[in-house]
Structure 1
Amino acid sequence: MLPLLRKSPSARIVNLASDSAIFAKATEKGSMFARSHESFAYSATKTAVNMLTVKYANAFLDDPELAHVKINSVTPGYVATDLNDFKGVKTTDEGARASVYWATVDDDGETGGFFDDNGPVPW
């Protein structure tokens, strides 16, 4: 993909994370993310996606041929899908909003961040 990203005037990478990757939620007593021991691997991999986002964004900023690429991580929120037996409070359209926004962010937009449809999310 690097040759295509170099050629694109508005290259964007949007990594899909999760609310389960937010440490504040995972450590909040009584929260569904603190209690979800069965989803350990899911939460750990989504947290790793966030770290990769930061590392790639910083590496790309150091490369003049890739510095224009915006790389961000997005959580869609609690979307009703088969993963949660459709218990989520958002529709798939609502969950896609942040991803679409960051896939089309302006050239002066942020890179290396973690966002939902309301803006920056704490790590």
Structure 2
Amino acid sequence: MQGIVAGCAVFEVWQHNNLLRSADSAACLAQFSVDIGDRRVFAGVHYPTDNVASWILAMNLIPHIFKEPEPILKFAKFAITERSHVYKELQKRATATVALTKPIAALDAALSI
């Protein structure tokens, strides 16, 4: 959760101060935002569902943290769905793994905010 929220905070500053120079900059920041959690899963110190819980929490906290949450939510959703390797792998396995059905459904609901 810290990675996503930190990335969103940087994104907000970049956007507010017109510092976002390219889509590549946003993509790099999005990658950083999810890499912290993804790498903890790769290292074996977190379960993939820990990332899911963090993302759900972050998506629900963003409207309470940021003054203009809509672009921040859009950025966070992009980071999670387009840049996270853990998210992509969970999506592949969600239909075949019963234990993932509820967490993925809850994440999908949070991402539709």
Alignment TM-score > 0.5, same fold: no
| TM-score between both structures, scaled by the size of structure 1 | 0.32
Query: Which structure shows the higher helix fraction?
Result: 2
Query: Which structure shows the higher strand fraction?
Result: 1
| TM-score between both structures, scaled by the size of structure 2 | 0.34
| The structure with more radius of gyration | 1
